[in-house]
Chain A
C-alpha cells in the first residue's frame, strides 16, 4: 500500500542545534516528494519539493532535504534551529505522476528548547 512514514512523532532540540527529521516513502520510480510545515492554528506551508535532478534540495527558511533512492528516504535538515521553527512537519508523496493522490506522513512535532 502507498505510505509515507515519519518515524518520530515528537522531537525536541535546543535552539541553535542542528535538526534532522526523517521520512521514508513507498517505492516509486519517479517520486514526487514534499515537506510541509504547520504552525499552531495555521494552514500548511510548503518548505520544499523534489521531483528529479539534484538530490539535495534547498527550501525556504533555511531548510534542505536530501533524496536517497537506495534508502527510500527524504530527510529534512536545518543546521541551526530557531525558536520560531517549533511546529509540526509533514512529509508527503504524490502518487500517479503529476496528478493522482497526495499521501501525507503522520507528522513530526518539533519543540525547541531555549
Chain B
C-alpha cells in the first residue's frame, strides 16, 4: 500500500500571498489530519477531516482552512501568509478515528514565507 503523500514537498511564498497544500491519504483511510511543526511552537494540531466534514479543530486563526474531497484527499489553505507561518506542515491519515486508530504521517510540506 502506498503511504501518505503530500505535495508539494517544498514551497516558498511571500507575505500576504495564499497557499494550498495537498494530501493524499492511504487508500481506504477516511480521516485526514493536519499538523504544523515549527522550532518555536513545536507540533500543533490544525484540524481533522472525516467524510468531507471538519470533525475537530485546533487553536489556529481562520486564515487556516481545509477541505476534504469525496475520495478522502485533503487540501489545506493558508490565506494572507505571515512570516510565522513558515513551518513543516504534516498530514496524517487513519482508517476512521485519528485517536483510536493508528495515524500514518506523510513526509510533510516545508513552507517558507519571505
23 A-B residue pairs with Cβ-Cβ distance under 8 Å, sorted by A, are A32-B99, A41-B107, A42-B107, A43-B107, A44-B43, A44-B92, A44-B105, A45-B105, A46-B102, A49-B102, A96-B56, A98-B97, A99-B55, A100-B56, A101-B45, A101-B56, A101-B58, A102-B33, A102-B45, A102-B58, A102-B98, A105-B42, A107-B43
B106:A43 contact, CB within 8 angstroms: yes
CB-based contact B59/A101 at 8 Å: yes
Distance A43 CA – B99 CA, assembled complex (angstroms): 17
Q: Digit string of B71-110 for contact with A (CB within 8 Å is 1, else 0)? A: 0000000000000000000101000011110110111100
Contacts of A100 in B (CB 8 A): 56
**A-B Cβ contacts below 8 A, count:** 49
The secondary-structure label for the interface of chain B is loop
Chain B residues in 8 Å Cβ range of A49: 102
Assuming the contacts A99-B99, A101-B56, A101-B59, asked whether A106 and B42 have C-beta atoms less than 8 A apart, the reply is yes
Instruction: Count how many chain A residues have C-beta atoms less than 8 Å from C-beta atoms of the other chain.
Output: 23
Residue of B nearest to A44 (CB): B105
Question: Which residues of A are interface residues toward B (Cβ below 8 A)?
Answer: 32, 41-46, 49, 51, 90, 92, 94, 96, 98-107
Interface residues on B, range: 20 to 34
Q: Indicate if the CB atoms of A43 and B90 lie closer than 8 Å.
A: yes
A94 to B33, CA, bound (A): 13
Q: Which A residue sits closest to B48, measured CB to CB?
A: A99
> Which residues of chain B come closer than 8 Å to A43, judged between CB atoms?
4, 90, 92, 105-108
Is B7 interfacial (CB 8 A cutoff)?
Answer: no
Contacts of A96 in B (CB 8 A): 56
Task: Please measure, in the bound complex, the distance between the C-alpha atom of A73 and the C-alpha atom of B85, giving whole angstroms.
Answer: 32
CB distance from A9 to the nearest CB of B (A): 11
Residue of A nearest to B58 (CB): A101
Q: How far is the CA of A99 from the CA of B90 in the complex (A)?
A: 19
Closest chain B residue, CB of each to CB of A60: B102
CB-CB < 8 A to A51: which residues of B?
100
Asked if B65 lies at the interface with its beta carbon under 8 angstroms from chain A, I say no
B99 interface neighbour in A98, A104, A105, Cβ under 8 Å: A98
Q: Specify which of A32, A42, A46, A104 is in contact with B44 (CB 8 Å cutoff).
A: A104
